[in-house]
A and B are shown apart, each in its own frame.
Chain A
């Protein structure tokens, strides 16, 4: 048995993760060609690198198929109910920063806070006969946030991509999406509500609370944490 470490299989998130481990003296890399999803680990024994899509890391952690995994806080909280009981945050990796925010058209000069959004939603429903639509792919996070803040008379419209365009296309009135600089929002004539920050996310190393571990795995984890300087 070995300790299984799940890492995003492509893009900047993978490169930055490799860099982060590299700085701690652990080399991660892809084996063979770019198309092959096998990896290697140098600098520590008995750790196996599993390359997979960032979106699958939360699920595999929760199912105990991997012991450790790197993914965004946003994905863990969106996909795992009761996430604190299923995974543990070991270290924030300092990259992949993204905020999940609630944004409305800039032309809504009367809407700057959640309180405004709630009032506008009530009026919108009366006038249009349906509830104000918020486009997002983060259904749980957005719903929990709006419930905690007492916003009613809205509905979530599923949007898996190009979410910023939904308002102009009139398939939604507002959006909740990940942004790092806000440039895309501005370009689409959208503004973030003053109190519309739902979650600050960054790439994080998680440990599964569900994965079975042998004594040898536990020893490997201790050695790994020591190398990574995690308490």
Chain B
């Protein structure tokens, strides 16, 4: 493990480079109100963040990342467009793998820009790409917006689309829902019995708890409506599968997605965005014929990203986590903005890992 002082020096070097690119340095508190993070991530965040509390402020978390507090800060009093940089430690609870760091330094860059989102994607990616150019790293990219557009475009009920959108970041549950909505999954016996019952509430017995009979009835109605709705077509399922299977260099991936868009026009706008992004990257000198693109990239790790996603990996050190990661998180700003939103994209580098890979770039 590199020494703290060396990591701090490397962090300062990286942050200075972000500052030179026009980013304003910002600081955030180490202790963050737990409520905001729990609202965003749900109970799972407790497995990944350290929770503490006092009698006055209630539960707080040691910051698991900078993005949320930086977005909050920007939403309160930021000018547009804005570029921010920061460096400091983040804390991640590790319960299963003692070799993973539970405290490490991140240096980040966040860009809030309403006008040209694809140019902004390219700016953030290229910034980090060039800062890491002297290391032998493989870049992975993806775009969660394409899968989301495909779900929106399905010929099915609004309720099913909402359910699928809710589980975009949980691939197993997403798959199970697709199987169910397309009529491929076996309907559980208990569900059959419920749907067949003339008066399902007759068996309810005493009603206890906060979830009332009205809620139970309304879900039964929803289940009945769903059972009466047509299944998602074989064709649509194949198209979703085809999208999820796209894993090629970016230029070929774009061609492949264009082909899929012929049969699924709903993804056309999202694919156009990918094309515009690749153009912007190309203009900056990134060879997109060598840049990997994977349509399902970032679905398990990065739940607030809802568009472009990227990561940089040391190929000769598969034991290490990614050296840098980032992506677009428009929906996060919507959730934190209480009615307001601003398109945003950002990324972080881990200076400690750079040092471990053999020094300064």
Min C-beta distance of A44 to chain B, whole Å: 34
Is residue A200 contacting chain B, with contact meaning CB distance below 8 A?
no
In the complex, B244 has a CB within 8 A of chain A: no
Contacts of B220 in A (CB 8 A): 109-110
B201 and A109 within 8 A (CB) = yes
Q: Which of B198-252 contact A (CB under 8 A)?
A: 200-201, 203-211, 213, 215-216, 218-220, 223
Residues of A within 8 A of B218 (CB): 123
- Type the 1/0 row for A56-77, where 1 means its CB is closer than 8 Å to any CB of B: 0000000000000000000000
B172 interface contact, C-beta 8 A? yes
B168-221 contacts to A, CB under 8 A, are 170, 172-174, 176, 180, 188, 190-191, 194, 200-201, 203-211, 213, 215-216, 218-220
CB < 8 Å: which of B95, B97, B206, B207 contacts A140? B95
Query: Chain B's nearest CB lies how many Å from the CB of A147?
Result: 6
Q: B208 near A167 (CB under 8 angstroms)?
A: yes
User: Chain A residues near B46 (CB, 8 Å)?
Assistant: 139, 143, 156
Q: Is the CB of A107 within 8 A of B47?
A: no
- Nearest-neighbour CB distance to chain A for B242, whole angstroms, equals 23
Assess whether A170 is in contact with B209, with CB atoms less than 8 Å apart: yes
Pick out which of these stretches binds chain B: A34-42, A45-53, A111-119. A111-119
Whether B318 is near chain A, meaning CB under 8 Å from some CB there, is no
Contact B43 A109 (CB under 8 A): no
B38 within 8 A of A: yes
A177 in the interface (beta carbon within 8 A): no
Pick the contact of A123 from B97, B208, B215 — CB < 8 Å?
B215
Q: A150-B170, A194-B188 are in contact. Are A107 and B96 (CB under 8 A)?
A: no
Residue interface bits A88-123, CB-to-B below 8 A is 1, else 0: 000000000000000001111111110110111011
Residue pair B209, A105 in contact (C-beta under 8 Å): yes
Query: Is B8 among interface residues, defined by CB-CB distance under 8 A?
Result: no
- Closest residue of chain B to A81 (Cβ to Cβ) is B95
Cβ-neighbour of B216 out of A108, A115, A152 (below 8 A)? A108
Q: Among B97, B190, B191, which residue has its beta carbon within 8 angstroms of that of A82?
A: B97
Q: Kindly provide the distance from the CB of A141 to the nearest chain B CB, expressed in whole angstroms.
A: 11
| Contact B42 A152, beta carbon cutoff 8 Å | yes
B256 interface hit (Cβ, 8 Å): no
Interface residues on B, range: 35 or more
Whether B98 sits at the interface, judged by CB under 8 Å, is: yes
- Contact indicator B194/A110 (Cβ below 8 Å): yes
- The docked-state distance in angstroms from the alpha carbon of A116 to that of B38 is 22
Instruction: Give the interface size bracket for A toward B.
Output: 35 or more
Taking the closest CB of chain B, its distance from the CB of A183, in whole angstroms, is 16
Judge whether A153 and B42 touch: CB under 8 Å.
Answer: yes
Check A170/B210 contact, CB under 8 A, given A119-B219, A131-B43. yes
- Mask for B303-346, Cβ within 8 A of A = 1, else 0? 00000000000000000000000000000000000000000000
Q: Is there an interface contact between B207 and A107, defined as CB atoms closer than 8 Å?
A: yes
Selected from B95, B98, B166, B211, the residue in CB contact (under 8 A) with A124 is B211
A106 and B176 in contact (CB under 8 A), knowing A81-B95, A140-B95? no
For B216, what are the chain A residues with a Cβ–Cβ distance below 8 Å?
A: 107-110
Q: Are B208 and A154 in contact (CB under 8 A)?
A: no
Residues of A within 8 A of B97 (CB): 82
Chain B CB within 8 A of A180 CB: no
Where chain B touches its partner, the secondary structure class is helix
Total A-B contacts with CB atoms under 8 angstroms apart: 116
B6 close to A (CB within 8 Å): no
| B54 CB-CB contact with A under 8 Å | no
Q: Which residues of chain A have C-beta atoms less than 8 A from B43's C-beta?
A: 131, 143, 146, 154-156
Chain B residue with minimal CB distance to A146? Answer: B43
Measured CB to CB, the closest approach of chain B to A41, in angstroms, equals 34
Residues on B with C-beta less than 8 A from A131 are: 38, 42-43
**Chain A residue at smallest Cβ distance from B98:** A82
In whole Å, how far is A177's beta carbon from the nearest beta carbon of chain B?
A: 15
What are the interface flags for B95-133 relative to A under an 8 Å C-beta threshold, 1 for contact and 0 otherwise? 111100000000000000000000000000000000000
Residues of chain B within 8 A of A229, CB atoms compared: none
Given the interface pairs A118-B173, A150-B173, the reply to whether A105 lies near B211 with Cβ below 8 Å is yes
A112 touches B191 (CB 8 A): yes
Q: Point out the residue from B166, B188, B206, B213 that lies within 8 Å of A152, measured CB to CB.
A: B166
- Chain B nearest CB: distance from A75 CB in Å? 15
> Is the beta-carbon distance between B166 and A122 smaller than 8 angstroms?
yes
B96 touches A112 (CB 8 A): no
A106-B204, A131-B43, A140-B47 as given contacts; A167 in contact with B95, CB under 8 Å: no
Q: What 5 A-B pairs come out closest when comparing CB atoms?
A: A150-B173, A81-B95, A112-B190, A107-B204, A150-B170
Given contacts A124-B215, A150-B170, 12 further A-B contacts (CB under 8 A): A107-B213, A109-B203, A110-B194, A113-B190, A120-B219, A123-B218, A123-B219, A124-B211, A131-B43, A152-B166, A168-B209, A170-B210
Binding site for A on B (CB under 8 A): 38, 42-44, 46-47, 94-98, 163, 166-167, 170, 172-174, 176, 180, 188, 190-191, 194, 200-201, 203-211, 213, 215-216, 218-220, 223
